[in-house]
Chain A
């Protein structure tokens, strides 16, 4: 069974981003970029399913700039077999990314598509759900456990009150939550081997999709700064302050 995993190149999770002075966006020049943490978990899960003998081939795909090859190579160093980069320097909205991924799915015919539940840059949490809709496939979002057997996927989902288990007919779309697994590190020999694994470069037009989005970003601002706080020296002082502002 084949698995497709979608990964995104994003600003590293530990970077404190700065808004550009002209409010056109976030300043990403000379900022460390990484694979989106949720995508990393999706890759790890595919590798674990392969190690269990459930999945035979893992294809990783990314929609983005040329530099996203780095994230595809590191996914292959972890254990993915080959990669597809749908290269574009244009802005691509969640709906448009989903349409491109639909094209890739139709070409590759995977039984399971794994994605992260959200990218830590736009925080949209949309692509997995949209892809599932476009394919008419079942979706399991916020997955914390995946069991694949007999042409079905049983997935434990993190929901507001606790956990929910659902069953999907394959092919199915699953988006990974943080607790699904702990991603491994790539070893140096695997990083070397990954350089020889196949990486196809495509364009959005190969899938008949135009880039862009009908959700236009008008401006990006820094959030309102909180006033600097006060260090209190005793519990008594803290209680007095809280009473003063009437929260207790």
Chain B
């Protein structure tokens, strides 16, 4: 078995999502190659070469890959032969690129792998996580995206992989990058955080979201999330949305404040180790998945909680 893992990065830093995908690749077994496609990615390549469990780093450094446009990267991935498996993280980048590469290779693809049963048999959630399907790929090459929260990360240190460059330059010429607006934050990244504090419609306003939840997140060193209702109401930007249509998280501790717990939200957080719900509604669906739930006014409970932890 020979596995290609597409590294997730921003041209400067290797994203930790990749470390989780490597674990999934190790469960399949075989030689693992990390593909770093981007522009001026020497530092990323060096970081990639130190990742534990990697045999080789393949670097495609060219302006056409600068913003990892799906058209160009998918053509590059499809041109790299000799691999039995091609994996990427189930991030927006992985989901954008990998199905395109699969179609170019004329093979089916597995989305959101949460367990490896055999080299070609995987588990994946369907129906917003309300059912788990076991699927078998009968394709000559197995392509899949990996749900990072379902696998531990390998160590980012200790590896001694060789770095090899590829001269493949694939420019489909049908798309171009215009601009990017990245939300800056001092807090840990939502998808990888150990503690997540989320607010829903119940927090009432953008002002109140920050007034109530910022001190709690600060105290716990937590990432902040939100339900779709809170995002749609404009309390916080949409990249903070937890759910089927947003990010899937599985932290040690998830605190849901003023969130009722719609199916679509639960799909994004119900694999958290410990769930705490703080809600004024006794019958909120979130209470059914919460380990501990407290009914009352979040405006009183949360500040009290901050003062006592």
Question: Which residue numbers of A lie inside 8 Å of B, CB to CB?
Answer: 11, 13-14, 16-17, 19, 26, 93-95, 98, 120-134, 136-142, 144, 154, 157-169, 172, 177-179, 213-223, 226-236, 238-239, 241-242, 245, 247-248
A selection of 23 A-B contacts at a CB cut-off of 8 Å is A13-B264, A17-B127, A26-B126, A120-B127, A133-B104, A134-B103, A139-B70, A139-B71, A139-B96, A141-B92, A159-B92, A160-B239, A165-B177, A165-B179, A166-B178, A167-B175, A168-B174, A179-B232, A216-B138, A219-B133, A223-B125, A234-B294, A236-B308
Residue-wise interface mask of B (217-241) relative to A, using a CB-CB cutoff of 8 A (1 in contact, 0 not): 0001000000010001000011100
Q: Cβ of B287: which chain A residues have Cβ within 8 Å of it?
A: 229, 231
Q: Which residue, B93, B135, B195, has most C-beta atoms of chain A within 10 A? A: B135
B289 and A138 contacting across the interface, CB-CB below 8 Å: no
Find chain A residues with CB under 8 A from B131 CB.
17, 19, 26, 220-223
Q: Are B180 and A214 in contact (CB under 8 A)?
A: no
Partner of A123, one of B126, B232, B292: B126
Evaluate contact between B127 and A123: CB separation under 8 angstroms: yes
CA distance A248 to B221 in the complex (A): 10
A136: min CB distance to chain B, Å: 7
User: Which chain B residues have a beta carbon within 8 Å of chain A's beta carbons?
Assistant: 67, 69-71, 74, 91-93, 95-104, 106-112, 121, 125-139, 172-183, 191, 195, 220, 228, 232, 237-239, 244-245, 247, 252-253, 263-264, 270, 273-277, 287-295, 301, 304-305, 308-309
What's the nearest-Cβ distance from chain B to residue A24, in Å? 11
Contact B308 A16 (CB under 8 A): no
Q: How far is the CB of B231 from chain A (nearest CB, A)?
A: 8
Chain B residue contacts of A121, Cβ below 8 A: 126-127
Quote the shortest CB–CB distance from B181 to chain A (angstroms): 5
Asked whether B293 lies within 8 Å of A229 as measured between CB atoms, the reply is yes
Pick the most buried of B125, B253, B288, B292: most chain A CB atoms within 10 A of its CB.
B292
A86 and B178 CA atoms in complex are apart in Å by 37
Query: Which one, A17, A129, A162, A229, contacts B239 given CB within 8 A?
Result: A162
**CB atoms of B292 and A125 under 8 A apart:** no
Are A93 and B100 closer than 8 Å at their CB atoms? no
* A121 closest partner in B (C-beta): B127
Q: Which 7 A-B pairs have the closest CB atoms?
A: A133-B103, A129-B99, A138-B174, A130-B103, A126-B99, A138-B175, A247-B253
CB within 8 A of B294: which of A126, A132, A235?
Answer: A235
